[in-house]
Amino acid sequence: MANELDEMTGNVNTSGRDINVIEKQIPCRIGWGSTLFEIVLWCLGIIPGLIFLFMKIKAKNYFQQLQQKIQADASTIDNYLEQRAQILKNLAKLLEKAVDLDKDVMKAVSAFRGGRLPDTERNAVATQIDGCFGRLFPQVEAYPELKAHAAIAEAMQQNSYLQKEITAARQLYNDSVMQWNTDIFAWPTKQIVAARAGYTTRIPFTASQEVKLQARGTFF
């Protein structure tokens, strides 16, 4: 039998293929078969019915706990973003006395507020902070004497560290979202509970179009 996917002779897309996160929440639904399944369990006796009832209670508690974990993961990202915004403000103060900074570079970050952000707003704030750092660092490179400034060097190191932490926190958030999206369709117990609670899938972290274009650029 021939291989379904043959890397030697199969069709090849020479231009490549880009991918995107689809901004769509899919509702969890069940059909009449799930209701019939529960009726049959009760018809078999009170014990099977009670066992499944306790399983549904356990599943409901599980979803409530998982939602709290997703909230905590999102809050962790917000905390790192807030720290990075503060480093950016401090770095700008250090540089504005030595170089002619763009006065508009801090507008978006100055308006940053703490607390949990909606996913779309969190991504926008992260993009704004990335853009501000991208405009500050070239100015540091243009003044070699600034690179030797201990406070500036420390701020740049902290920025690099926090960016790695943000990436790791986003991955943790995505893992929790994937767990949620998988479990709400785990039939019978979890899917029945999720459908009756009106749960939908959740959207993982999404990189902005600007960030994607920057990633394709030349850095060296």
pLDDT digits (tens, 9 = 90+) for 126-145: 777 776 666 666 666 555 55
pLDDT at position 3: 84
Mean per-residue pLDDT for 177-202?
A: 97
d(CA 193, CA 209): 37
Virtual torsion, Cα 194, 200, 202, 203, nearest 10 deg? 160
Contact of 114 with 78, CB cutoff 8 Å: yes
Tell which wins on pLDDT, 99 or 220. Answer: 99
d(CA 127, CA 6): 40
Tell which wins on pLDDT, 167 or 91. Answer: 167
Residue identified by tokens 């706990």 is 65
Between the alpha carbon of residue 89 and those of residues 77, 92, 133, 162, the distances in Å are: 19, 5, 10, 15
Residues with Cβ within 8 Å of residue 22, at least 6 apart in sequence? 203
| Mean pLDDT estimate for the chain | 82
Lowest mean pLDDT among 176-180, 193-197, 205-209: 205-209
Query: Which three-class secondary structure state does DSSP give residue 31?
Result: coil
d(CA 188, CA 199): 15
